[in-house]
């Protein structure tokens, strides 16, 4: 009873401030001198338009990235009316520009390629690592996400026509077979997300674009029954009614105020993406939701994110502005992390024709053409390469001599590189990187079925969260997809009950 009263008092304050909008009669005792009646029994903050629903749906999904679209799969397949809304004028959010590396175990694609792996067995090996890091409060939820990643990969391929790169392209090269890649390889997320987008439409889902979510709308009991949006094209208010709402609005890496508050050590690092503003976080908090793990370090990444992933699929050497090797090259987030910690400002990836002719040929050529201002080469000697990079030639020659010694020994005693510990040969190329802030990990506290929770862990009615809106959502796209499935399954179960 005390918990219910506390929540009721919280909502009164939220409604009075305009952070939450009331429809169909405000909470009892909520009226104040700074509210004005709409004439329909609704109490509204001065300057706030009265609620007027222009559309209605069973499931309203905020965000059309991989988490949002994955959340739509089960509801639309269950015959529910599903609407996906995005503030951008296109579908896909920032998932469309991601590298597309998806860590999955035991998918049909992997099994068909002869790669063994059972998701549950893999999880049991992964669990101690997570427990040691202390990255999650709800291992049951994390377990479900892990298993749903595999289910998601199988379903989007079989039921929606999503195209993944054949694992046979890279399975015998030394690259990790735990990774699924889209279509042409790194960076080709349209090959996966466009079929999913169109497939959802064919099954009955609808999309509304250029609508920025601003407030939850609640009924007289304080239960969310819809969302208020601002139409980014004409500035008009749009209210949409929904039985269940799924928040899949991404992280907060582009919100400088939130970053400065929760990640002050990264406040001077620019964001790689431009749309992750934490709006879903703020809306959920206004409703009584609770932030958790907000101080968990955000992923750092190169501004040429896809280039950092090449190390999983071909040999390369990464060096400082002085031409010294400083990192193992087979972990994409290590180089920007260490570059920041060492105050390097920038660093270089040096590669050769092995990358150009690798399983990721499409992406290598794409980045070489698209980032010509960052590319130097080809050069037939390290001295020529060093001159173009403006690094001391003696340092670069010494770095490669030491690297070749490690290759000959078969072990990277300096940094522990495991994948593609192979020598490079002329012609040499190099690309320049700058470190950026990438994916934040702090987010909303949820129940195991992804329902938004209050400070006492109690579920807040009708609202679910997935993807990077949730705390500790992983580092690649597959956990976002898996968490989306969990939310979608949960709302189906609730609506069909």
Residue-wise pLDDT tens digits, 404-459: 999 999 999 999 999 999 999 999 999 999 999 988 999 999 999 999 999 999 99
Half-sphere exposure of 352 (CA within 13 A, CB side): 16
Q: For residue 46, tell me if it sits in a domain.
A: no
Q: For residue 277, tell me if it sits in a domain.
A: yes
How many CB atoms neighbour CB 96 within 10 A? 19
Q: Which of 24-28, 33-37, 82-86, 490-494 has the lowest mean pLDDT?
A: 33-37
Q: How buried is 468 (Cβ within 10 angstroms: 0-12 exposed, 13-18 middle, 19+ buried)? A: buried
Total domains present in the chain? 2
Please give the model's pTM, rounded to 2 decimal places.
Answer: 0.92
| Chosen domain end from 433, 454, 482 | 433
197 and 341 housed in the same domain? no
pLDDT of residue 14: 86
Q: For residue 142, tell me if it sits in a domain.
A: yes
Provide φ and ψ at 289, rounded to 5°.
Answer: -70, 165
244 and 323 housed in the same domain? no
279 and 354 housed in the same domain? no
Q: For residue 375, tell me if it sits in a domain.
A: yes
314 and 219 housed in the same domain? no
pLDDT of residue 94: 84
Closest CA to 259 of 295, 214, 299, 305: 295
pLDDT 10s digits, 44-85? 555 578 999 999 999 999 999 999 999 999 999 999 999 999
- What does the pLDDT average to over 95-99? 87
Cβ proximity of 431 and 365 under 8 Å: no
pLDDT of residue 366: 97
Closest CA to 358 of 313, 318, 417: 313
329 and 247 housed in the same domain? no
324 and 204 housed in the same domain? no
pLDDT of residue 33: 32
Closest CA to 284 of 7, 39, 19, 492: 19
260 and 359 housed in the same domain? no
Structural domain containing residue 329: 304-433
207 and 268 housed in the same domain? yes
Most confident of 41-45, 118-122, 183-187: 183-187
| Chosen domain end from 409, 433, 457 | 433
- Residue 42 binned pLDDT confidence (cut-offs 50, 70, 90): very low
110 and 167 housed in the same domain? yes
Q: For residue 50, tell me if it sits in a domain.
A: no
266 and 337 housed in the same domain? no
pLDDT of residue 335: 93
102 and 247 housed in the same domain? yes
100 and 128 housed in the same domain? yes
Q: For residue 1, tell me if it sits in a domain.
A: no
| Chosen domain end from 433, 461, 484 | 433
Chain-centroid distance, C-alpha 473: 8
Q: Which domain CATH number covers 136?
A: 3.50.50.60
Q: Which domain CATH number covers 398?
A: 3.90.700.10
Q: For residue 10, tell me if it sits in a domain.
A: no
Q: For residue 176, tell me if it sits in a domain.
A: yes
The mean pLDDT of the chain is: 91
H-helix segments, 347-381: 353-356, 361-370
């Amino acid at each position: 009873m005390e918990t219910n009263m506390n929540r009721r008092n919280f909502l009164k304050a939220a409604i009075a401030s305009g952070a939450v909008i009331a429809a169909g009669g405000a909470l009892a005792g909520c009226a104040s001198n700074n509210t004005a009646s709409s004439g329909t029994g609704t109490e509204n903050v001065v300057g706030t338009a009265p609620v007027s629903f222009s559309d209605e749906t069973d499931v309203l999904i905020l965000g059309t990235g991989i988490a949002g679209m994955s959340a739509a799969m089960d509801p639309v397949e269950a015959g529910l009316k599903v609407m996906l809304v995005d503030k951008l004028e296109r579908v896909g959010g920032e998932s469309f520009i991601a590298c597309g590396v998806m860590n999955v175990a035991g998918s049909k694609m992997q099994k068909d390629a002869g790669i063994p792996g059972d998701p549950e067995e893999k999880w049991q090996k992964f669990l101690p690592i997570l427990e040691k890091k202390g990255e999650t409060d709800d291992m049951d939820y994390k377990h479900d996400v892990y298993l749903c990643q595999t289910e998601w990969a199988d379903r989007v391929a079989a039921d929606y026509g999503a195209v993944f790169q054949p694992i046979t392209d890279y399975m015998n090269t030394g690259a990790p077979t735990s990774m699924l890649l889209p279509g042409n390889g790194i960076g080709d997320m349209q090959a996966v997300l466009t079929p999913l987008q169109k497939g959802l439409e064919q099954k009955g889902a609808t999309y509304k674009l250029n609508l920025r979510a601003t407030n939850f709308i609640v009924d007289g009991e304080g239960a969310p029954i819809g969302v208020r949006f601002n139409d980014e094209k004409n500035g008009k208010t749009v209210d949409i009614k929904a039985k269940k709402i799924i928040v899949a609005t991404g992280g907060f890496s582009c919100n400088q105020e939130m970053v400065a508050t929760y990640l002050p050590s990264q406040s001077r690092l620019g964001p790689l993406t431009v749309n992750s503003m934490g709006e879903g976080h703020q809306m959920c908090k206004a409703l009584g939701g609770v932030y958790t793990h907000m101080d968990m370090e955000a992923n750092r990444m190169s501004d040429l994110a896809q280039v950092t992933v090449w190390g999983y699929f071909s040999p390369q050497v990464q060096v400082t502005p002085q031409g010294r090797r400083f990192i193992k090259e087979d972990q994409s987030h290590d180089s920007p992390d260490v570059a920041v910690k060492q105050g390097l400002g920038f660093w270089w990836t040096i590669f050769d024709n092995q990358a150009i002719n690798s399983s990721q040929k499409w992406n290598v050529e794409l980045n070489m053409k698209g980032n010509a201002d960052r590319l130097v080469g080809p050069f037939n000697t390290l001295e020529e390469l060093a001159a173009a990079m403006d690094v001391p030639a003696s340092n670069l020659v010494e770095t490669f001599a030491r690297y070749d010694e490690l290759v000959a020994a078969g072990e990277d005693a300096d940094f522990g590189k495991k994948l593609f510990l192979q020598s490079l040969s002329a012609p040499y190329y190099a690309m320049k990187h700058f470190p950026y802030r990438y994916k934040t990990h702090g987010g909303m506290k949820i129940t195991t079925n992804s329902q938004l929770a209050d400070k006492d862990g109690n579920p807040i009615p009708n609202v679910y969260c997935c993807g990077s809106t949730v705390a500790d959502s992983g580092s690649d796209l597959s956990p976002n997809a898996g968490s989306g499935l969990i939310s979608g399954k949960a709302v189906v179960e609730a609506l069909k009950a």
